[in-house]
Each structure stands twice: as structure tokens, then as C-alpha cells.
């Protein structure tokens, strides 16, 4: 499946402009059940029903990572309850994170040839050419694989892949790079 990155970016208003902030407020309001904070379930449903981005809706691991990082970023004024939710002040960062983690998800999925949501050494080695387009040359694929596989399970999981992708500044060759995660 080919991702229309320009369309995807247009649906995620992350710019620091008045118009983008107004769009974010509208999106937040449409996703919110009425209590001024977003749960993971509200975000998930909002991606499907409000943003209508099926590709991201199907990438649950990317949604979860973006949600977790966004809720940790803000200091909640709601006490312990707010620690499990995203407030509006965290919403822009959530959208930025969602876009970035979706890009990592796409790279992960393109490497995970059999679709079992984990990358074997064989898959990693077999995808060397495209991986090197995203991160640059890798001299020792087995050694790199071992560094990524932090839990030593013999497979690279999405969380492990994300840590590596961030460290390597992974960038898909076909995405629209008009955003910056800040």
C-alpha cells in the first residue's frame, strides 16, 4: 500500500499558526467525550472517525507510542487522573509524534516481510538495501541487529526499532518531510 504523505500531513495540523491551532482545537473537541481530556480510546476512535486516516488507525503500535510520549510530555493540572490522558496543551505534540511514529511503523512494516509484527535477522538482512536508504550504510548487519534487539529475544520489536530509528534519524525516502518533531 502506498501512503499519500502529503494528504496525511494535511490532516495533522501541527504548524505553529493561528489557522492550524484552530483546526487542532476543532479536532480535539470532536475527539473529546466532553471532559476536556483525551483517553487512548478517544484518540483511537478519533483517528478512525474524525481524521479518517485508516493507515494510522491500523498502526496501533504507532498510536500507542505517540500517546505515551505525549501524555508524559505535559505536566497535568488534573493530578493522577491527567497522567493517563492528553490535554489540549499536549495535543500538538501528540500529532507531531503520531506522524513520526507512523513513519517508523511504515519502515518497520516494510522490513517485517512476513507481517508477524517482529523483525527476524533474516528479514533485517534481506532488507539491508532499503534500510540503508533510510539510515545510511550499515557495515555489520548481524551486529546492528544484536544492538537493536535489546531484550535478546532474537527478533526486533517495534519499541526496539523505534529507539534505533530515533538514534539513526531514520527517514523514509518517499515521505513528505515538511514536519519537524519538537
Residue 98 has a pLDDT of 95
pLDDT beyond 80 at 134: yes
- Do 142 and 106 belong together in one domain? no
Interval 100-123: pLDDT, tens: 999 999 999 999 999 999 999 999
Q: Is residue 180 part of a domain?
A: no
Position 39 in a domain: yes
Instruction: For residue 180, name the pLDDT band (cuts at 50, 70, 90).
Output: very low
In terms of domains, do 42 and 92 share one? yes
Q: Kindly report the three-state secondary structure assignment for every residue of 109-172.
A: HHHCCCCCCCEEHHHHHHCHHHHHHHHCCCCCHHHHHHHHCCCCCCEECHHHHHHHHHHHCCCC
- Tens of pLDDT, residues 65-108: 999 999 887 654 545 445 789 999 999 999 999 999 999 999 99
**Number of structural domains the chain divides into:** 2
Angle in degrees, 0-180, between the axes of helices 60-73 and 158-168, rounded to the nearest 10: 60
Q: Provide the mean pLDDT of the chain.
A: 90
In this structure, the answer to whether residues 6 and 64 fall within a common structural domain is yes
Cell numbers 508524559 correspond to what residue? 72
Q: Is residue 181 part of a domain?
A: no
Domain of 47 in residue numbering reads as: 1-111
Same domain, 39 and 121: no
Specify the pLDDT at position 1. Answer: 58
Domain stops at, among 78, 94, 111 = 111
pLDDT at 41 over 70: yes
**Which candidate, 117, 174, 181, places its Cα nearest to that of 3?**
174
Domain stops at, among 111, 132, 158: 111
Asked if 139 and 100 sit in the same domain, the reply is: no
> What does the angle CA 23 – CA 26 – CA 29 come to, to the nearest 5 degrees?
150
pLDDT at 75: 53
Together in a domain, 156 and 98: no
Amino acid at each position: 500500500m502506498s501512503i499519500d504523505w502529503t494528504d496525511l500531513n494535511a490532516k495533522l495540523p501541527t504548524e505553529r499558526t493561528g489557522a492550524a491551532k484552530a483546526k487542532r482545537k476543532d479536532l480535539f473537541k470532536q475527539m473529546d467525550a466532553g471532559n476536556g481530556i483525551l483517553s487512548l480510546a478517544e484518540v483511537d476512535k478519533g483517528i478512525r472517525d474524525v481524521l479518517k486516516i485508516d493507515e494510522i488507525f491500523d498502526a496501533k503500535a504507532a498510536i500507542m507510542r505517540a500517546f505515551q510520549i505525549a501524555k508524559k510530555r505535559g505536566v497535568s493540572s488534573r493530578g493522577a487522573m491527567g497522567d493517563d490522558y492528553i490535554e489540549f496543551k499536549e495535543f500538538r505534540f501528540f500529532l507531531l509524534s503520531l506522524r513520526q511514529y507512523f513513519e517508523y511503523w511504515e519502515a518497520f512494516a516494510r522490513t517485517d516481510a512476513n507481517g508477524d509484527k517482529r523483525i527476524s535477522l533474516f528479514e533485517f538482512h534481506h532488507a539491508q538495501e532499503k534500510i540503508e536508504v533510510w539510515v545510511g550504510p550499515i557495515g555489520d548487519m548481524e551486529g546492528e541487529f544484536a544492538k537493536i534487539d535489546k531484550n535478546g529475544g532474537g527478533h526486533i520489536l517495534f519499541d526496539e526499532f523505534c529507539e534505533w530509528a530515533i538514534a539513526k534519524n531514520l527517514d523514509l525516502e518517499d515521505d513528505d518531510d515538511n514536519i519537524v518533531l519538537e
